[in-house]
Amino acid sequence: DQQVKQNSPSLSVQEGRISILNCDYTNSMFDYFLWYKKYPAEGPTFLISISSIKDKNEDGRFTVFLNKSAKHLSLHIVPSQPGDSAVYFCAASAYGNKLVFGAGTILRVKS
Amino acid sequence: DAGVIQSPRHEVTEMGQEVTLRCKPISGHDYLFWYRQTMMRGLELLIYFNNNVPIDDSGMPEDRFSAKMPNASFSTLKIQPSEPRDSAVYFCASSLALNTDTQYFGPGTRLTVL
Q: Which of B41, B102, B108 faces A43 most closely, judged by CB atoms?
A: B108
- pLDDT tens track for A58-104: 999 999 999 999 999 999 999 999 999 999 999 999 987 888 999 99
> Closest Cα of chain B to A99: distance in Å?
6
pLDDT of residue A2: 78
Distance, CA of B34 to CA of A110 (rounded, Å)? 33
Give A-chain residues touching B40 at CB under 8 angstroms. Answer: 103
Taking the Cβ of residue B54 and every Cβ of chain A, the question of whether any pair is shorter than 8 Å is answered with: no
Contact A99 B103 (CB under 8 A): yes
Q: What is the pLDDT of residue B109?
A: 98
pLDDT score at B101: 60
**pLDDT exceeds 70 at position A38:** yes
Burial class for A50, CB neighbours closer than 10 Å (0-12, 13-18, 19+): buried
Instruction: Give me the pLDDT at residue B99, please.
Output: 67
A105 reaches B (C-beta below 8 A): no
B48 and A101: CB-CB below 8 Å? Answer: no
Report the residue from A44, A100, A103 with minimal CB separation from B105. A44
Test the B interface: residue of A21, A52, A99, A100 with most B CBs within 10 Å = A99
pLDDT at B1: 65
Model pLDDT, residue B61: 87
Taking the C-alpha atoms of residue A27 and residue A94, their distance in angstroms, rounded to an integer, is 8
The pLDDT score that the predictor gives to residue B10 is 97
Would you state the pLDDT for residue A49? 94
Instruction: Judge whether B58 is closer than 8 Å to chain A, CB to CB.
Output: no
Contact B93 A101 (CB under 8 A): no
Span A45-58, pLDDT tens digits: 999 999 999 999 99
Expressed in percent and rounded to 5, the helix, strand and coil fractions of chain B are 5, 55, 45
Instruction: Inform me whether the C-beta atom of residue B56 falls under 8 Å from chain A C-beta atoms.
Output: yes
Contact flag A99-B108 (C-beta cutoff 8 Å) = no
- Tell me the pLDDT of chain B (114 aa) as tens digits: 689 999 999 999 999 999 999 999 999 999 999 999 988 888 999 999 999 999 999 999 889 999 999 999 999 999 999 999 999 999 999 998 876 667 899 999 999 999
Contact B78, B18 (CB under 8 A): yes
Residue A107: name the closest of A3, A14, A2, A42 by CA: A14
Whether the Cβ atoms of residue B29 and residue B50 lie closer than 8 Å to each other:
no
